[in-house]
Homo-oligomer: A and B are copies of this chain.
Amino acid sequence: MDLKHRKKLAAMHRIQEAALDLFEEQGFDAVAIEAVAAAAEVSPRTVYRYFGTKEMLVIWDEADEFPVSPLAAEFAVADPIGMLRGTFRAAFAAMDEAQLRLIRRRVALIYRTPAIEAAYLLHSYEKSRAIAAAVGPASGDAFGTEVFVHAFVGAVVGAMRHWCHSGFATPPFTFVDQALTLLEHGFGKRAAP
């Protein structure tokens, strides 16, 4: 990787770190981009060039940069839930404590701040639709694929939200796993307790 690219990534991490510190301390709305830029020792213009919007300072995740594994396609048609479960399990298992801590900080800010949550929801749907567009045509059911992808994003967002509001007590995969199981079996009639 280029020296330029490495410097840019390092700067993005420094800027995001500074932003999270300030947002946690003073609240998202009370912090101006100028303050973030000053704390990270870059110009405000650079913050916008790198992140585009203020919300992206929280939403941005380096892992999102990598393209979806082409392997996904072959699993997608027959057993989409199983494929997604495996992907999430692997992703969470590969994280060290530092990465997990970063995710917790970001998730807490996302669900505490409506403006960030809105941007995050759109971001999630757009990413998922991109995956669906790459994988979907093989299924031959555009409508079903679209509804599935949207329901899936909704379920995962709900799971992450619950993880956040439960104080991050249990590992995140627990919640995602349970949410996927619910999605797998459907929400038909349930016996009254």
Contacts and interface: CB of A to CB of B under 8 A. Distances in A.
Contact of A187 (B118, B125, B158, B183): B183
A29 to B, nearest CB: 14
Interface size on A, as a range, is 35 or more
A152 interface: yes
Contacts of A118: 118-119, 121-122
A159 interface: yes
Interface in A148-193: 148-155, 157-159, 161-162, 175, 178-179, 182-193
A30 B112 CA distance: 31
A157 B186 CA distance: 18
A19 to B, nearest CB: 20
Interface of A: prevailing SS = helix
A17 B5 CA distance: 48
A106 B190 CA distance: 35
Interface string A121-134: 11001100000000
Given A122-B117, A154-B154, A159 B187 contact: no
